[in-house]
Amino acid sequence: MKKLLLTLIFILALSFVSVTALAFDDMPNDWSTAALQSAVDNGLLQGTDNKLLPKNNLTRAQMATILVRALGATESADISSFTDVPKNAWYYNNMAIAFKMNIFRGDGAGKMNPDANITRQEAFVVLARAYNLTTSDYTSLSKFKDADKIASWAKPELAALVKAGYVAGSNGMLNPLSSITRAEFAQVMYNLNKAYVDSSSELSALGVVNGNVIIRDNSMTKIENLTVNGDVIIGDGMKALASMKNVKINGRLVIRCSGNVSFDGEASEMVLVADNTTVTASSTSKISKITKSSETSSVKTESEIPSTPTTPTVPTTPTTPEVEEDLWTDFH
């Protein structure tokens, strides 16, 4: 009986491995395999008809969907004014959420162009908006042979991504005007994030993380005993979060959700992205820099931190469509 039980367990284990490995019949065995598997494991890519389509170009709607999933966003905006996003389209809700997140803004002519391929520099700008990454130092771009092809509006975000090591290019080229494939974008996300946290048990099991962490469990109320050598991004939907205790972040703490949060710990920088976010830091907390994107958000603390927030890098409400119009009309 014991032998039979062990045999059944072994067969079930083999079956599980086989199903996992063969879930997508076009999963490549190359430089992108680990990144694509990570994207699948963390719910960023779901594929269709057992195919991941890694070599297909990424569309604007697909990218919006990936970032909505990555950051656990759920709140949508009214996008009925856009004439090319039908309510019965598979991507309608995700485009509405991405618009609310202020990472997609439309083209200035009443369109969001959801089915169009997104160029590499457009994708990087949108990604940088989501992670609140920007810089006025463009020296990191000078090593690329095609740096002159990078649009001026894209340089702050591209330079920040390159400087941080998230985007490396290929053969000395960034190819900013080219489309980006699903596999290539999966690789960028893999470079950006080392862990996604979807539950308190996953948080407890993390240990010390060397790399960026996205926490996106929308029911989580507290984060405790966390050490990260990198950035921690609190997802858009985590409005239940009330406290962070014994947290040490050797990087940025990017809070994308609104709400009231108590903080006890350390962070190289605290970034408040959403409206109506209030962080109350303990007197022993150490925060080297505070950046906020909205005048309705604030940090209350007794510790020695800058009293004047730095210039916001990401607007919290959709701005005039000038930037996005440039993104589209310059290349199409």
What is the chain's pLDDT, residue by residue, as a tens digit (332 residues)?
544 444 444 444 443 333 343 479 999 999 999 999 999 999 999 988 999 999 999 999 999 999 999 999 999 999 999 999 999 999 999 999 999 999 998 888 899 999 999 999 999 999 999 999 999 999 999 999 999 999 999 999 999 999 998 998 889 999 999 999 999 999 999 999 999 999 999 999 999 999 999 999 999 999 999 999 999 999 999 999 999 999 999 999 999 999 999 999 999 999 999 999 999 999 999 999 999 999 999 999 764 445 444 444 444 444 333 333 333 333 33
Same domain, 43 and 145: yes
As a whole number of angstroms, the distance between CA 221 and CA 182 comes to 34
Quick one: how many helices (H) and strands (E) in the chain?
A: 9, 11
Same domain, 166 and 235: no
Beta strands, E only, 89-221? 195-197, 208-210, 213-215
Same domain, 295 and 162: no
Q: Which residue has the tokens 């958000």?
A: 297
Same domain, 222 and 182: no
Please give the structure tokens belonging to residue 244. Answer: 């962070």
As a whole number of angstroms, the distance between CA 250 and CA 252 comes to 7
Same domain, 168 and 73: yes
Within-domain flag for 263: yes
Within-domain flag for 254: yes
Same domain, 188 and 199: no
Same domain, 108 and 235: no
- Total domains in the fold of the chain: 2
Same domain, 103 and 125: yes
265 to each of 56, 206, 228, 303, how far by Cα in Å? 43, 17, 12, 11
